[in-house]
């Protein structure tokens, strides 16, 4: 649920910058919410670099890919994001890739509707890559 609240703030900031908004209070609010979301999400980071649904669950391929790409996008708005953390998440993802290049589901899921048909095979692999 952290990411469901985190990502819209990236989109808001992208929009505000795209239109050249001078609404500094909105920019500040979205930036602060990004910082809070980042700190909250770090609680779900596993020692292997992946991200799990809960603080004590194994990493999820989908969630780790989602968090990693979202953090890479958010770094243009907040400097708090640790590049080594993102790299370790991507390294974990690489370790889950089959020799054939495919990724399979790993870890628990909560918002399955966010994944659509991305649970296994070609669709999940396309998303991760």
How confident is the model over 58-112, as pLDDT tens digits? 888 989 999 999 999 999 999 989 999 999 999 999 999 888 888 877 655 555 5
Confidence (pLDDT) at 117: 52
* Nearest C-alpha neighbor of 63 from the set 17, 7, 16, 107: 107
pTM over 0.85: no
CATH-assigned architecture of domain 2-128: Alpha/alpha barrel (1.50)
**Residue 114: is its pLDDT beyond 80?**
no
Q: Where are the domains of the chain?
A: 2-128
């Amino acid at each position: 649920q952290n990411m469901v609240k985190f990502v819209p703030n990236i989109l808001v900031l992208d929009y505000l910058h795209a239109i050249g908004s001078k609404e500094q209070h909105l920019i500040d609010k979205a930036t602060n919410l990004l910082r809070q979301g980042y700190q909250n999400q770090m609680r779900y980071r596993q020692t292997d670099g992946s991200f799990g649904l809960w603080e004590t669950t194994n990493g999820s391929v989908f969630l780790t890919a989602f968090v990693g790409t979202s953090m890479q996008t958010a770094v243009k708005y907040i400097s708090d994001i640790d590049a080594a953390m993102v790299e370790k998440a991507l390294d974990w993802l690489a370790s889950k890739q089959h020799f054939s290049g495919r990724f399979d589901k790993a870890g628990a899921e909560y918002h399955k509707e966010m994944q659509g048909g991305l649970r296994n095979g070609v669709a999940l692999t396309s998303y991760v890559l």
